A and B are shown apart, each in its own frame.
Chain A
Amino acid sequence: MLLFLVAVGLTLIFGVLKVVNFSHGAFYMFGAYFAMTAYQLTGSFALAILVGAAGTAILGLIFERVFMSRVYGRDVLMQLLVCYAFVLIFDDVVRMIWGPEFKSMGMPAAFQVPPLFIAGGVVPPYYLLLIGVALAAAVVLGLGLARSRIGKVIRAAAHNPGMVSALGINTGLIYGGVFALGGMLAGLAGALAAPVRSLTPGMGFSVLIESFIVTVIGGMGSILGALIGALLIGLIRSFGSLGFPLFTEGLMYLFMVIVLVSRPTGLFGKEVA
């Protein structure tokens, strides 16, 4: 479910801005570190999540306005280079502020309870929270994009930015907003991951690779695709580790290859006109 939050941010940014945001993992990392610091200072888990999400949203907005907005429409290689440079820079920034050693935030007392046994499976209550947050994010994003006025403007901007701009809408603001939203979703995932994962500089990278697989399987730009893709990857990992313990990683990529061969745009991707 955390994978879904990271992947949906990635897919949103790609869908609207047509940029493959290679530095997306860094926002996940910042979300986790912001949350840890806020949790240590205040002791409030809710506030920690809020700080993690809001902090990365602001960071995303600044990053988009100052750097990414300069490379829209440029060569893909140029965009990748800028993003990759910032992967390295952000890692070093984290190293300077929080140190190179790994850190742990610790599980809030409210969730230090025995797991639930549902239909023969073991389900920790904290993971129910993760599932709830991710589903809520999926519903809000899905409905927001489909029904609200802002959603319509965003979709219009994705299709024809020139026309949207001509209608007197500030496309720069829309782009910045979408990037901030994408960053916020990654930061939210990082903040929610902080209690159960160790925090190190560079922690975003492995998550980034898996979210790319999720978005490719689900279809670049599709929110439903990201949700289904994340679920499929989770299932493949679980069953893979039982059936093919030495080939779990390989199975993920194999599945991606099968999807790409049979449906080059991904499961829910639309043909590019």
Chain B
Amino acid sequence: MTRTRKPGISRRSTLALMGAGAVTFAAPWVARAEAKTIKIGMPTILSGRVAQLGTSSRNAVMLEVEKVNAAGGLAGRQIEMVIRDSKGQPQEAARIARELVNTDGCEMLLDGEASSGSFAVHEVARDLGVLCIHTCSEASSLTADPKQHIPNAFRCVRQGIHDSIVGAGYAAGIAKTKGLKKWATCSPDYAYGRDTTGEFVLYLKKFAPDVEVISESWPKLFQPDYTEVVTKILQAKPQALYSCLWGGDLTSYIDQANIYALFTQMEVFAVNMADYTALTVVKNLPKGIHSGDRYIKTFPATPENAAWGDAYKAKYNEYPTNWSWQNATAVMFLNEAVKKANSTDGKKVAEVLTGLTIKCPFGADGTVTMRADDRTLVGYAIGWGTTIPQEPYVPDVKAGDWKTIFELEAEWKKSKGYT
């Protein structure tokens, strides 16, 4: 048998291979440049104890994205959301964020992580320079600390310090009228619980100087039995109780404190009570618990807000959460910024986003602003009120005053050495 060609790879096949290789490797780039769709990546928590919040974030984003797409998309490009579960682990959140940009070709990130994860995603945004909007982390230092400032990252979330100022102002007013001088606190024993309680007490004493904290309890996160905490508070006989327990821990605590008739013996201030996830779950909600607003469709009392809450409920058969309105607002901001920039280029959009004010159903005056100097959300509806066991759950919310918030926030930043 005679050979027709030499063994090994011929010049022709080498060329073909090289050509194929070039096409294979270049394809994503060519495709990306020409892509009609724009991919937006989103790491969030879709499993574990806080999965409900992550799911409600995804739901809100999809609700808004559908509207944007129906109206023609971002600068003519349809949005394709790529949403992945971080299981609430910071290292996983960072890995997913990186993968979304580098492998999936996402051009922007919505960071739907809780505080621990959002700092990790923030570092990825710093490294890759990709446009990133944090949509769930309330930790004040994420944007207050100048070390965290990068031109491509924004925070579209309420802030712990804002809540403490408004909550303490509201509580001090009631403390003065009702003569509540002896206070107790009961909050979960981790960074959020201790920071938020500390800030609340700091401002409460500032507004009502004769207030005294006579008992502190720090149950651990996800503790099943609060008997010893409840009896300890009852024995201390305070006139008022502050708590930043949340979710299942809060409902569990209410069920257990209820049978000790704790709510009839003192005024209770629970910042996280007025969230539909807790309000709709507690079967015997005591009347008159004071709470901050998380998301409630009756505050701000505008037809736009009510319509948004109803549309969400109609689509997902449950009410939105605090994380929902924040994520929806982030998509609204992106949509407006892209329109103004007339481009989906991350840098151009970031420039427009800085200092941008948009119309929004969740704004205190119908608008919200992405404050220019620290790229964080201000002007959102924030207030406190008392709960009743049926809809509308918090019939009368007293709105916080943004002028006071700005003044005290500036003082707080100075005291922390941020400015």
Contact = CB atoms under 8 A, between A and B. Distances in A.
Interface stretch (A53-61, A106-114, A180-188, A265-273): A106-114
A197 B218 contact: no
Contact of A104 (B217, B228, B255, B260): B255
Contacts of A106: 255, 282-284
Nearest to A204: B224
B258 A107 contact: yes
A245 B248 contact: no
B259 interface: yes
A104 B283 contact: yes
Interface string A191-204: 00101111010110
A101 B252 contact: no
Interface in A225-273: 234, 237-238, 240-242, 245-246, 248-249
Interface string A201-232: 01100110000000000000000000000000
A122 B228 CA distance: 12
Nearest to B256: A196
Given A203-B224, A206-B223, A238-B231, A197 B260 contact: no
Contacts of A200: 49, 248
A162 interface: no
B283 A107 contact: yes
A100 B47 contact: yes
A72 interface: no
Given A107-B284, A248-B228, A202 B255 contact: no
Nearest to A235: B228
A102 B251 contact: yes
B165 to A, nearest CB: 27
Interface residues of B, number: 37
B232 A242 contact: yes
A26 B27 CA distance: 51
Interface string A98-135: 00111111110001101100000110111100000000
Contact of A112 (B55, B232, B235, B284): B284
Given A102-B247, A104-B255, A206 B231 contact: no
Interface string B215-247: 011101011110111011011000000000001
Contacts of B227: 234, 237-238
A198 B251 contact: yes
A198 to B, nearest CB: 4
Nearest to B50: A100
Nearest to A248: B228
A241 B186 CA distance: 12
Given A102-B248, A104-B282, A197-B252, A245 B218 contact: yes
Contacts of B128: none
A237 B231 CA distance: 11
Interface string A1-21: 010000000000000000000
Nearest to A237: B228
A210 B4 CA distance: 80
A241 B284 contact: no
B59 interface: no
A144 B272 CA distance: 48
Given A198-B248, A241-B232, A100 B259 contact: no
Contact of A241 (B55, B217, B247, B251): B217
Contact of B218 (A111, A195, A246): A246
B281 A103 contact: yes
Interface residues of A, number: 39
B259 A111 contact: yes
A122 B55 CA distance: 41
B281 A122 contact: no
B187 interface: no
Contact of B234 (A122, A237, A241): A122
Contacts of B234: 122
B261 A114 contact: yes
A249 B232 CA distance: 16
B383 to A, nearest CB: 26
Contacts of B259: 107, 111, 115, 124-127, 196
Contacts of A122: 231, 234, 260-261
B260 A207 contact: no
A2 B248 CA distance: 19
A198 B249 contact: yes
Interface string B258-276: 1111000000000000000
Nearest to B51: A100
A115 B251 contact: no
Interface in B198-229: 216-218, 220, 222-225, 227-229
B115 interface: no
Interface string B275-289: 001000111100000
A218 to B, nearest CB: 18
Given A122-B234, A124-B259, A100 B52 contact: yes
B270 to A, nearest CB: 15
A103 B218 CA distance: 23
A104 B247 CA distance: 11
Contacts of A202: 49
Contacts of A126: 259
A43 to B, nearest CB: 12
Of the candidates A126, A197, A203, the one having the most CB atoms from chain B within 10 angstroms of its own CB is: A197
Nearest to A200: B248
B201 to A, nearest CB: 16
12 contacts: A2-B225, A100-B47, A104-B252, A104-B283, A106-B282, A115-B261, A124-B259, A126-B259, A202-B49, A237-B228, A241-B217, A241-B232
Interface of B: 47-49, 51-52, 55, 216-218, 220, 222-225, 227-229, 231-232, 234-235, 247-249, 251-252, 255-256, 258-261, 277, 281-284
Given A102-B52, A102-B248, A122-B260, 18 more contacts: A102-B281, A104-B251, A104-B255, A104-B283, A105-B283, A106-B283, A106-B284, A107-B255, A107-B284, A121-B231, A122-B261, A197-B224, A197-B255, A198-B249, A200-B248, A241-B228, A241-B232, A245-B217
For the complex of A and B, the 5 pairs showing the least CB-CB separation, nearest first, are: A106-B283, A102-B248, A198-B248, A124-B259, A198-B252
